[in-house]
Amino acid sequence: MLYYLLAFFAGILVQATDFIEDERKGKNRTKWLFSILAGILIAVIINQATFATLFLSVLFAQVIMRKIDKPTHQLTFFLGALAILAGIKDFDFIHFLIFLIPASLDEIKLPRNLSLITEHRLFLKLVALFFIFSGRVDYFFGIISFDIGYILTNQLLQTKRILI
């Protein structure tokens, strides 16, 4: 349960960083704090959570799809990737490859009428959902937890219910 909560908070911090970079043109220095905290949470998840393989595949998909394009993104990635040096609790190479494909597809910019598909990482969620049938509910709940934090924060920031 703890790692789902960490995934939720990582989603909040990643979205807050993205918002500052994209909407505020990087003008708020708290982006560095958010980036560091997000990287630390992602590192803990990769190092300790049973759904580490999924998060690692998302991290690498970000690199493959060239989404690590700002210094704050590089910092978050670097801190998250440091977990590899400390060890990964539950790494499955086949699952990594399986998740890498939809995680990469979710980063493709689609036309507006199809953007809902990739905007909310539906490819990755669908693949994680299929893993439930093999008894791996942790993958699905891991990505859902992250995305709830990410999407909720985006909604609150876009409607100016919270300000950063």
Residue 163 lies in a domain: no
Residue 122 lies in a domain: yes
Residue range of the domain that includes 18: 2-158
Is 122 exposed, middle or buried (CB count within 10 Å of its CB: 0-12, 13-18, 19+)? middle
Q: What pLDDT is attached to residue 135?
A: 96
Residue 115 has pLDDT above 80, yes or no: no
Number of domains the chain contains:
1
**Percent of the chain clearing pLDDT 70 (strictly above):** 96
Q: What pLDDT is attached to residue 164?
A: 73
Residue 110 has pLDDT above 90, yes or no: no
Residue 111 CB partners (closer than 8 Å, separation 6+): none
Residue 40 lies in a domain: yes
- Backbone φ and ψ for 121, nearest 5 degrees, come out as 50, 45
Residue 43 lies in a domain: yes
Q: What pLDDT is attached to residue 90?
A: 83
Residue 102 lies in a domain: yes
Residue 8 lies in a domain: yes
